[in-house]
Structure 1
């Protein structure tokens, strides 16, 4: 960050400050929400701030490639680099912002966050870019490196995706991951009908389009839905459409009395389960962090399902040792690399390595192994992740079934029968399939 303690409502200054904090480890969505809540911004400035922050994160490797000839070996303050990236993003990706405005605003932001000398440095770089132009990515000879710079994804991830899906499917996937994510909601059917919620949202100026992916789900535009009366009253919750599919596939009936959500925070799926089970049924919702248990409890209370949910601090790998209950259904929405969330959390592409993925796959298998001992006869485990890498998906399920002959993999079912013509029992949802988060769902039945 800039050494100066600066308070400003200038969206470009805020974007640079926010990007610097994200580069130091803050989560993009949380940091952005915090900044928006702390500053008095009109809707246009909120949109610009959000666009700049996500735009720079999504194209960071591209901007590094373009800027390198102008910076050379010079050591510059990290926030100055972020400022130059915001300028590049506006010049190359925002048609409605004229170049002279980009220059003037960027130089002004440099002076606010730094000093006159910083402003002169930024001025010189921007004018050099204007005179010389940006180097052509097509000139990169190695096809993987070229795609890495073009899509701003690490080479190891591109190599894995191509190995697992082929080049054409990978390119189609990559072309969609920098699109703006949709805002989707799930209706709380215990308190309202779909029609009630849609009418309530439309009254406040929102537009709600019925989801083709999940039941009781809508894609909403026209504002921040968490500020709506329907949200405040617990008639809906914010959840990605594909994130609703694991619960749909649990085949919850009135006979299901004991449910375990093994990694439940922040409670989206636990509260969804509560909509499908009987009043006398119980959900045990686990997480290893106390503050995340609080999130589960707060969500359950807002949606008026707290009577069905018992949230506890516990590592899911200790379930069979610490909990005597035999569960009819178990959801393992496993900790994962999160590569299905690249639209929503674009910074994770730079944080994770292949070694991280391999370590996570071992953890996922340990969780599955532990909770399987607490499943009742004829019970079912649904295993899901929000990643698109097979090491954490198919490979984990295959290893589990191979070492647990008492379990069988059965076809994953969803309300709208997604990908009905697929040849495999598991369900892969890629980011480009329905413009949702990427997700994986497998259903395991105890024989």
Structure 2
């Protein structure tokens, strides 16, 4: 086993890579696959990274009130992690300072005195710093959200904005479904029993588990057990694909929803497209792995579906969005997002929908979904769709009884932040009426 200080150094390096644009959940899994960590070591890294990322604005504020400038990038990550331990974790403060000093000697020995002095000052002055946070910035700093986002939440959800901010700082849970064409429910539950994995919650055919032991099973490795959130699977199931349907998954990468369509239904043809060539290669490998004859993958811009020169009976539009509904899994997303990004995403979402509509058969269905909760990307877009196309009708969707939802005034469905386990999602099913 490695010395703990080196495990923490790995956490510092991991945080640095996340700050340079890597997704935290993907990069952590990469680290865990490349290094022989014990279960306790994995838990330590996961916890310390998540606590730091979910409280980053607060941590940076406290650091900013303590020192003027942190010049060395990795020293800054070390201080962030150590400050998070002092502020949010049940840690021995003296031990945190000592450990940070030892790690700083590895990163840059000339910074050790600076690191020690900074952390000692945080321990001494943290209460005074927190009490002095300006009132007009307090909510954003305390909950670690950019101020523009707090203001937007207040506008969209004046009665719920504090609850939303708190909810998406909670922990996330591993969720999986099984391929019912390959495994029975009895077999799946037997596997869970054998690996000592408890079901914490289930919605439809998606199970939220107490640990990650399922990822070591043969069934997972060969693709009979698949990681997917219930919100995502609920969207797929509401396509209600028949054997006569030609189906398009227009923004398909990395392919999870396409796979769910194929494992839940038997379409005449499913075409999965994406604008990025490297993502298309990932889906082509998925096609090779599973061997579906009714599955095709093509490079295409979802805003130009007419380039395909095809008509479709069912179209899944899981459009690019701000991704705020998955902040429990990817807490860093909020720090890289601006209000202009949401405006630009809304424009793109409209273009994609207009493109999809032009290729939809009479009587066909577009299922529009996002993994976010901003009204700009959801309710406001739905209003635009219905006003522009008078032959579109919102259809009811089926939601498991144990999933909390909210409906907007146009019939769209928000999967609520009040669900402890599910991602935040928006789903609306639109049918093109035959004239």
Q: Using the alignment, how far apart are the partners of 1:198 and 1:318 within structure 2?
A: 44
Specify the alignment match of 1:216 in structure 2.
205
Name which of 44, 63, 70 aligns with 1:67: 63
Cα shift at 1:420:
7.4
Specify the alignment match of 1:382 in structure 2.
367
User: Is the CA contact 1:253–1:276 (under 8 Å) kept in the aligned structure 2?
Assistant: no
Cα shift at 1:251:
2.4
Q: Using the alignment, how far apart are the partners of 1:56 and 1:323 within structure 2?
A: 48
Secondary structure of the structure 1 residue equivalent to 2:331: coil
Q: Deviations over 1:235-290 (max 9, x none)?
A: 21001121112112212334x42111011111111111113323x62100011112
Unpaired stretches in structure 1, ≥5 consecutive residues: 1-6
TM-score, normalization by structure 2:
0.93
Indicate the larger mover: 388-397 or 122-131: 122-131
User: Is the CA contact 1:177–1:432 (under 8 Å) kept in the aligned structure 2?
Assistant: no
Name which of 140, 145, 153 aligns with 2:145: 153
Name which of 61, 67, 82 aligns with 1:87: 82
Q: Deviations over 1:297-320 (max 9, x none)?
A: 334454x36323211111112212
The count of residues paired between Structure 1 and Structure 2 equals 430
Specify the alignment match of 1:198 in structure 2.
189
Is residue 412 of structure 2 the alignment partner of residue 426 of structure 1? Answer: yes
Specify the alignment match of 2:95 in structure 1.
101
Secondary structure of the structure 2 residue equivalent to 1:408: strand
Cα shift at 1:419:
4.9
Specify the alignment match of 1:283 in structure 2.
270
Secondary structure of the structure 2 residue equivalent to 1:259: strand
Q: Using the alignment, how far apart are the partners of 1:45 and 1:389 within structure 2?
A: 37
Cα RMSD over matched residues?
A: 2.2
User: Is the CA contact 1:267–1:300 (under 8 Å) kept in the aligned structure 2?
Assistant: no
User: Is the CA contact 1:335–1:360 (under 8 Å) kept in the aligned structure 2?
Assistant: yes
Unpaired stretches in structure 2, ≥5 consecutive residues: none
Q: Deviations over 1:98-151 (max 9, x none)?
A: 222212211111111111x211211111222233334353543434x1110011
TM-score, normalization by structure 1:
0.90
User: Is the CA contact 2:327–2:333 (under 8 Å) kept in the aligned structure 1?
Assistant: yes
Cα–Cα, structure 1 residues 431 and 217, in superposed 2: closer, same or farther, change >3 Å?
same
Q: Using the alignment, how far apart are the partners of 1:119 and 1:343 within structure 2?
A: 34
Cα shift at 1:439:
0.5
Is residue 316 of structure 2 the alignment partner of residue 317 of structure 1? Answer: no
Indicate the larger mover: 85-94 or 340-349: 85-94
Secondary structure of the structure 1 residue equivalent to 2:376: helix
Q: Using the alignment, how far apart are the partners of 2:184 and 2:216 within structure 1?
A: 20
